[in-house]
Structure 1
Amino acid sequence: MNLLLRRAALDDLSALVELEGRSFEVPRLNRQQFRWMVLGANARLSVAEGDGRILGYTLVLFRQASTLARLHSIATDPRARGNGIGQRLLEAAETSAREHDCAYLRLEVCPDNREAVSLFERNGYTSLGLLPDFFPDHREALRLEKRVAHHPQARQRHVPYYHQTTEFTCGPACLMMAMGALGGASPGNDQDELRLWREASSVHMPGGHGGCSPHGLALAAWRRGYRVRLHLSHQGPLFLDEVRNAGKREVIRQAHEDFCSALQNTDVEQHLGDELDLCHVLETGGQPLVLVDGHRRSRSRAPHWVLVTDCDHAFVYLHDPNAERSLLRQPQDCQHVPVTYSEFERISRFGQGKQRAAVVLYPRS
């Protein structure tokens, strides 16, 4: 069958309404809604045309400044099923998501629609759980998601991935990945991770062990033979105003002063300012660790270190060392995670003062 995939037009409205009625027990879209999707919505409505009639459609919805697109509905004429039309429509939906600079495509499907569930599973969609009372007839829905945009791996060096083994060692895990990228070796093991944490820890965590400060990580990297540049928007110790206990505040202050004193005897470059040109850093051989707002990244109150692996016209790519913190389900989805520039701008500011911090490693000449 010769199949043409194209954007829907106003002339298709009658055929789309008829197809909707044949495809779903409870139609999701009426004529007025289809018309809006064609004319004004932030969406892509595509149809599959064959033998002079509409045999299927797919509708993808977008949100401004979001990397998540939603597959609202996909339908194939029951009389034309078995010809691979659903597969072609799904591929078109994923293509439209990428064209809109979206990295993930999410959808909801009735769990007992085994034909549709099988199509999505064959194409790499993973479950995010069941949603009760989701559809108009009060049936539950199975939410599925797939990462449709991947790191091209064409410009920058290979960056190995290391998954942190504790809740408080994201900084050491990122430092190990950075050193592995620059040194061309495996990142190390859990003993190296804890050793780095002991060297660099100074940030108080409300629920337990402290995290690593940018000064401490910079010093640890310098001791291991790397050229280091420290980018800070604020000179003093981080998060001090958020620690209520006076004794703990004093410990953090003393640890910070000790790191600053040690850094005076190194060639670590310290830059005080709000801007960090990640693409320039990567192009000149740097490997940046960036501290991000943990709540924006994973609904955690704690700040979180990530490693920037690359950037292109649409995304900044991150290695997130803590797979469990992510809303994603597959470990590989925590590597080269695509984040829009606007979202990165938001997550890379943390604390009440919207501070920024980054540690950049360079190989010695």
Structure 2
Amino acid sequence: MNFIYRLAELSDVDELLVLENQCFETDRLNARSFHWMVSRANARLIVAQGDGHLAGYALLLFHRGTSLGRLYSLAISERARGQGLGQQLLAQAEQHARERDCAYLRLEVRPDNAPAIRLYERNGYRLFDRIDDYYEDHACALRYEKRIREHAVGVTRHVPYYAQTLDFSCGPACLLMAMKALQPERAMQRHEELQLWREATTVFMTSGHGGCSPQGLALAALRRGFDVGLQVSVQGPLFLAGVRSEEKREVMRLVHQEFSRELAQSPVRQLGNLPLDLHALQQHNGLALVLISSYRLTRSKAPHWVLVTGCDSDFVYLHDPDIDHSQQRQAMDCQYMPVSHKEFDGMSCFGADKLRAAVVLYRPVVAAIIPASTLSNHA
């Protein structure tokens, strides 16, 4: 059978539902999901049409601002199986991902889906992770990844992931991840996330709670025994222009002054040479929390902290602690996100004053004094 490949239309939803119910017993997409994927999502839904009917589909999701694509689902009708359609749909998905400037394509598959696993491994996908209790029936998922554009060998280190639990705690979440990577015996717990926020916040945004300044985060890491470097391109308290209340602005000035006084008497190193030299940082086993503008990721103009987990000649790899479910993101989509150096340079320059800020952590020179409540219960 010869197949025609095209992007799905809203008129295809009824046939897509038939395919979905035929191919999957659990975790099915419903009509509302298909409508979203076709008309509004940052996605491409590719269908294969043969003899006037849909024979299969491949659904791709894209992560805005990154070079990462995700093959969310691939389905083939019973009558079209055994004709190489899976191979052809996978090739179509990779081509569409390359057209969207993706360098990596990731996917999840059940361990008991042997034909799909053979298809992916035959096409160069490598197993890189396993997620327990992923599917509705509590089965685990195997995570596969393929580099679909040629590149230099990437360098990333294993960094545990922690999702921020509040809108304003991205900085503490990044700090928890960095400390855990450098000191594996640590636990990443919500009470410390909140404690770090209390120690490091200086900023009132236009409404609601404030976020954490680079100075506050650097001091919080220092108190926990880490070797710390600080890089800030703008002097004085940050983000004053976004606050209307003079009373709040005065609070920000006073807190910043106290942080500055503490930093002047501390061993925190002031780093120059903007922007941050990520390759040198990697060679010295440092981990950097970098302040970015979230606009390129979410179209929301707000300061946001991410953690750099590695880099190569093509990409910077990030852990983003913010899981934006409205954008069809899950925790696994926010880990080791590949971002081109050009894109990263743009997003790490915030606001009209072109602020660049980073907090760099290195392994403690001496054992840090860590409260017993923050340690994991390893035997």
Decide: shared fold, TM above 0.5. Answer: yes
Task: Give distance in 1, aligned partners of 2:304 and 2:346.
Answer: 14
Identify the residue that residue 90 of structure 2 maps to in structure 1.
91
1:265-280 map, 5 Å: 265-280=265-280
Letter in 2 for 1:362: Y
Matched, 1:252 2:230: no
Task: Give distance in 1, aligned partners of 2:7 and 2:222.
Answer: 63
Identify the residue that residue 103 of structure 2 maps to in structure 1.
102
Distance 1:292 1:340, change over 3 A: same
Q: CA deviation at 1:330?
A: 2.3
Please say which of residues 316-325 and 206-215 is displaced more in the overlay: 316-325
1:349-360 map, 5 Å: 349-360=349-360
8 Å contact kept, 1:293–1:350: yes
Task: Give distance in 1, aligned partners of 2:168 and 2:106.
Answer: 31
1:1-365 map, 5 Å: 20=4, 67=67, 81-96=80-95, 97=97, 101-103=102-104, 149=146, 155-324=155-324, 327-365=327-365
Distance 1:209 1:81, change over 3 A: same
Please say which of residues 318-327 and 217-226 is displaced more in the overlay: 318-327
SS for the counterpart of 2:261 is helix
SS for the counterpart of 1:202 is coil
Distance 1:102 1:21, change over 3 A: closer
8 Å contact kept, 2:214–2:357: yes
8 Å contact kept, 1:318–1:336: yes
8 Å contact kept, 1:203–1:252: yes
Task: Give distance in 2, aligned partners of 1:21 and 1:209.
Answer: 49
Task: Give distance in 2, aligned partners of 1:189 and 1:20.
Answer: 51
Letter in 1 for 2:200: A
What do the CA deviations read for 1:91-138 (whole angstroms, capped 9, x no partner)? 3345554696533599xxxxxxxxxxxx9xx98xxxxxxxxxxxxxxx
Task: Give distance in 1, aligned partners of 2:178 and 2:250.
Answer: 31
8 Å contact kept, 1:318–1:337: yes
Gaps of 5+ in 1: 1-17, 27-57, 107-118, 124-145
SS for the counterpart of 1:349 is coil
Distance 1:328 1:278, change over 3 A: farther
Task: Give distance in 2, aligned partners of 1:183 and 1:247.
Answer: 40
Q: CA deviation at 1:243?
A: 1.5
8 Å contact kept, 2:66–2:337: no
SS for the counterpart of 1:305 is strand
8 Å contact kept, 1:233–1:273: no
8 Å contact kept, 1:94–1:105: no
Letter in 1 for 2:276: L
Task: Give distance in 1, aligned partners of 2:362 and 2:5.
Answer: 61
Task: Give distance in 1, aligned partners of 2:68 and 2:144.
Answer: 9
8 Å contact kept, 2:156–2:317: no
Letter in 2 for 1:161: Y
What do the CA deviations read for 1:234-285 (whole angstroms, capped 9, x no partner)? 1222111222221111111111111010011111111245311112212211
Task: Give distance in 1, aligned partners of 2:206 and 2:212.
Answer: 14
Distance 1:315 1:21, change over 3 A: closer
Q: Which has the higher relative contact order, 1 or 2, with Cα contacts under 8 A spaced 6 or more apart? A: 2
Q: CA deviation at 1:323?
A: 0.9
Letter in 1 for 2:170: C
Task: Give distance in 2, aligned partners of 1:193 and 1:361.
Answer: 17
Identify the residue that residue 49 of structure 1 maps to in structure 2.
none
Gaps of 5+ in 2: 12-57, 108-115, 121-142, 366-379
Distance 1:207 1:325, change over 3 A: farther
8 Å contact kept, 1:298–1:326: no
Identify the residue that residue 142 of structure 1 maps to in structure 2.
none
Letter in 2 for 1:103: Y
Q: CA deviation at 1:207?
A: 2.5
Task: Give distance in 2, aligned partners of 1:283 and 1:93.
Answer: 38
8 Å contact kept, 2:308–2:318: yes
Larger-Rg structure: 1
Task: Give distance in 2, aligned partners of 1:226 and 1:302.
Answer: 28
Aligned Cα RMSD in Å? 4.2
Size of the aligned set, in residue pairs, is: 279
Task: Give distance in 1, aligned partners of 2:105 and 2:229.
Answer: 33
Task: Give distance in 2, aligned partners of 1:83 and 1:358.
Answer: 53
8 Å contact kept, 2:174–2:307: yes
Letter in 1 for 2:243: V
Task: Give distance in 1, aligned partners of 2:179 and 2:265.
Answer: 22
8 Å contact kept, 1:309–1:336: yes
